[in-house]
């Protein structure tokens, strides 16, 4: 039995505590993050990146690091949460905007694994998020599916579509390059459109709302990836053609352009946006373009129709990475989770 304090602390009957990390604890955990996930960076660059992400507008307002502590203060594990929102359509087609918390960087050090610390921490976190009024939580992880299932997360199998960068691609006329300053109106319109078409769902459904600060946070990561490759960062984070647009970010470990948002209105616009992505990736020395779940057509999402999916020689691999926990037990759980490509984790 546990006690949710609905504050920044959660205590179980063994006296173990889930609480917000102090600045000193956060810096110490970043060192362990580098050891686990710092491929493509040297230590100094990685730590500078983590500090910059924490100091960003998104980091200051919506990012939290939690630590799971023994009564004596020893850190048993840690994780991060990212606040956001999503549109939810219930089984009667009613649309509401709900609280979302994404979970990331779940870490128990190798010497402490196998003792149930991660499971206890995730149970405590779910209770704390529920107490703080969170409707649902998302999670992306390469490992630990059974652990997260025990904490209430359900798999929403997705596909990853990879397209080799065409070094000879020619950018179409009429393509507008997008920077952060171009996003506010685009994303406000996108949010309105999401809520409108989600209302057509015949089953409970959810789709995340894309936030300007979150895209800016990804852009900060991309700047550090460029620096880690000895390049100057590009201010371009996407492309637009009329009312169609896409947003992307890049990866340092395996030079890849990840599509965060894919919004073509028709097949011609899809081809133009794809060409722009090829040109940008080739100019940055990247080797492949990646879409998450881009080939799934729910029948609801107008940007997942086969006619507007990325063209080219694609290699698709099935993935069980995306997971969703429904924390509001009094309402119907979403059966459809759309928009996975928006927040590709990289």
pLDDT of 3 higher than 50? no
Tokens, residue 52: 């910059």
Per-residue model confidence (pLDDT) at position 318: 72
3-state helix, strand, coil in the chain (%, to 5): 35, 30, 35
**All domains in the chain, ordered by first residue:** 2-155 (3.40.630.30), 158-320 (3.40.630)
Among 266, 276, 311, smallest CA distance to 174 is for 276
Q: What is the pLDDT of residues 92-131, one digit of tens each?
A: 888 999 999 999 999 999 999 999 999 999 999 998 898 8
337 by Cβ neighbours in 10 Å (0-12 / 13-18 / 19+) ranks as buried
Burial pattern 266-304, b for ≥16 Cβ within 10 A else e, equals eeebbbbbbbbbbbbbbebebebbbbbbbbbeeebbebb
Q: Report how far residue 256's alpha carbon sits from residue 234's, in angstroms, rounded to the nearest whole number.
A: 14
Pair of tokens at residue 4: 């949710």
What distance in Å separates the CA atoms of residue 146 and residue 155, rounded to the nearest whole number?
10
Least confident of 28-37, 60-69, 142-151, 268-277: 142-151
Residue (of 166, 159, 140) closest to 289 by Cα position: 166
Long-range contacts from 185-188, C-beta under 8 angstroms, 24+ separation: 186/240, 186/245, 187/211, 187/212, 187/215
> Between residues 167 and 240, which one has the greater pLDDT?
240
- Angstrom CA distances, 326 to 50, 135, 176, 199, stand at 29, 7, 39, 19
Token pair, residue 311, equals: 């063209």
What's the pLDDT tens digit per position in 266-323?
Answer: 999 999 999 999 999 998 889 999 888 766 666 667 777 888 888 777 777 777 677 8
Band (50; pLDDT cuts 50, 70, 90): very high
Residues in CB range of 30: below 8 A, 6 or more apart? 46, 47, 50, 51
Cα angle 177-183-184, degrees, rounded to a multiple of 5: 155
């Amino acid at each position: 039995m546990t006690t949710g304090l609905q504050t920044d602390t959660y205590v179980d009957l063994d006296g173990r505590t889930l609480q917000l990390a102090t600045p000193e604890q956060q810096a110490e955990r970043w060192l362990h993050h580098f050891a686990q996930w710092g491929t493509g960076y040297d230590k100094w660059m990685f730590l500078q990146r983590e500090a910059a992400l924490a100091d960003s507008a998104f980091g200051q307002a919506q990012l939290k690091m939690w630590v799971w502590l023994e009564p004596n203060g020893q850190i048993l594990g840690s994780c991060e949460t990212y606040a956001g929102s999503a549109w939810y359509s219930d089984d009667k087609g009613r649309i509401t905007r709900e609280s979302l918390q994404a979970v990331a960087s779940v870490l128990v050090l190798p010497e402490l694994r196998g003792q149930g610390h991660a499971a206890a921490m995730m149970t405590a976190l779910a209770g704390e998020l529920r107490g703080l009024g969170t409707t649902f939580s998302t999670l992306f992880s390469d490992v630990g599916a059974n652990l997260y299932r025990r904490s209430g997360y359900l798999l929403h199998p997705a596909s990853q579509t990879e397209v080799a960068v065409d070094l000879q691609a020619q950018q179409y006329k009429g393509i507008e390059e997008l920077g952060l300053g171009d996003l506010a109106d685009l994303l406000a319109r996108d949010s309105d459109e999401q809520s409108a078409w989600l209302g057509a769902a015949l089953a409970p459904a959810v789709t995340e709302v894309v936030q300007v600060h979150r895209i800016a946070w990804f852009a900060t990561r991309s700047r550090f990836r460029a620096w880690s490759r000895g390049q100057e960062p590009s201010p371009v984070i996407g492309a637009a053609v009329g009312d169609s647009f896409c947003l992307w970010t890049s990866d340092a470990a395996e030079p890849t352009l990840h599509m965060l948002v894919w919004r073509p209105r028709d097949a011609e616009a899809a081809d133009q946006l794809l060409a722009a992505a090829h040109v940008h990736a080739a100019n940055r020395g990247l080797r492949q373009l990646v879409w998450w779940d881009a080939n799934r057509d729910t029948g609801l999402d107008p940007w997942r129709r086969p006619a507007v999916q990325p063209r080219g020689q694609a290699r698709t691999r099935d993935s069980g990475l995306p997971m969703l926990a429904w924390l509001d037990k009094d309402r119907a759980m979403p059966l459809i989770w759309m928009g996975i490509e928006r927040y590709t984790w990289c």
